Amino acid sequence: MEVFTREYFLEFKEPFKIAHGVRKGTDCIHVRISIDDYEGWGEAVLPPYLPENKQSVLQFIKQLNLSCYNQDFDLNEVLDYVMNSQPENFAAKAAVDIAVHNLYASIHKATIHSIYNLDLPEDAFTTYTIGMGTIKEIQTKVKFASNFKLLKVKLGGENDRAIINAVREITDKPICIDANQGWETKKPALEIINWLATQNVLFIEQPLRKEDFTGHKWLKQNSPLPIIADESIQIFEDLEKVKDCFDGINVKLMKCGGIREIYRILQIAKQLNLSTLIGCMSGSSCAVSAAANLASLANYLDLDGPLLIKNDCFCRIEYSESGIITL
Ligand code: MG
């Protein structure tokens, strides 16, 4: 295998605001892994709230030695080597994992979902994210997304009720809420969740700080709506921590280290009766299409990253007007 990397900046169509802050785009590293005439591309998406950056990803990829693998390589053997080569570095590992899966699929004339004996459901659809902003900006976004089946509204700021009221002036369709750890304590959080339960909301993602497991457990026991972990779950081993404190989980390639890791997490989540979302980190269609291959294993898809950026340099995913995904 030969490895090539390049730096890239994914630009948002419009500045994106959530409870952590506002930004214009996202750094990423693309990796191409090739054998003979076959190649596979992967992507590490690096929003500023994650511990990795372009330098750490490039260093991680540089220390890998994949030159011993030829066209007959064993997928699991390569992925084991990548996962065990260093601790942490999950976005870097995901980039390599995506590239290796694509390379393997290309050599074997397969698709990534077929490698895992999965189908790609014809009606798999993504939520569309409504970031924070002024009431006018939020209503413009909701109107733009009028054909999407399900909206994900970012809350966790000062004027949450005003935001929902503004959304409800435009549409009565189901929405889900992502508070991005924005609510300080459990009791005021429950108060607003009780109100949101009257607003055709399906679930609440990450209401409290990621390390507040007791607060989330209390919310799970008292909330009329399912409570979903996002920032509180990163890797496979975190399932043990979240399983009694949340009703479901949001898994992402960049958090856990790749497609095989998401597959493992979703298998166990099902056994634990956790509902599941596959999410993304505002990546291009390179990373997001890789995650979409596991669509049949999740209850919800939050894979609208390519819709929010203006310089996707891959063309691996298409969305219908209602958000239905085709690879
Ligand atoms: Mg989230």
Residue-level pLDDT at 81: 98
> How many angstroms does the Cα of residue 280 sit away from the middle of ligand 1?
9
> How many angstroms does the Cα of residue 70 sit away from the middle of ligand 1?
39
Residue-level pLDDT at 198: 98
Residue-level pLDDT at 5: 98
Residue-level pLDDT at 158: 87
> How many angstroms does the Cα of residue 48 sit away from the middle of ligand 1?
15
Residue-level pLDDT at 142: 97
Per-residue tens of pLDDT for the chain, all 327 residues: 999 999 999 999 988 877 777 899 999 999 999 999 999 999 999 999 889 999 999 999 999 999 999 999 999 999 999 999 999 999 999 999 999 999 999 999 999 999 999 999 999 999 999 999 999 999 999 999 999 999 999 999 889 999 999 999 999 999 999 999 999 999 999 999 999 999 999 999 999 999 999 999 999 999 999 999 999 999 999 999 999 999 999 999 999 999 999 999 999 999 999 999 999 999 999 999 999 999 999 999 999 999 999 999 999 999 999 999 999
Residue-level pLDDT at 289: 98
Label each residue of the chain as H, E or C: CEEEEEEEEEEEEEEEEECCEEEEEEEEEEEEEEECCEEEEEEEEECCCCCCCHHHHHHHHHHCCCCCCCCCCCHHHHHHHHHHCCCCCHHHHHHHHHHHHHHHHHHCCCCHHHHCCCCCCCCCEECEEECCCCHHHHHHHHHHCCCCCCEEEECCCCCHHHHHHHHHHHCCCCEEEECCCCCCCHHHHHHHHHHHCCCCEEEEECCCCCCCHHHHHHHHHHCCCCEEECCCCCCHHHHHHHCCCCCEEEECHHHHCCHHHHHHHHHHHHHCCCEEEECCCCCCHHHHHHHHCCHHHCCEECCCHHHHECCCCCCCCEECCCCEEEC
**N- to C-terminal Cα separation, the chain:** 26
Amino acid letter, residue 242: V
> How many angstroms does the Cα of residue 276 sit away from the middle of ligand 1?
12
> How many angstroms does the Cα of residue 30 sit away from the middle of ligand 1?
23
> How many angstroms does the Cα of residue 164 sit away from the middle of ligand 1?
17
Amino acid letter, residue 154: K
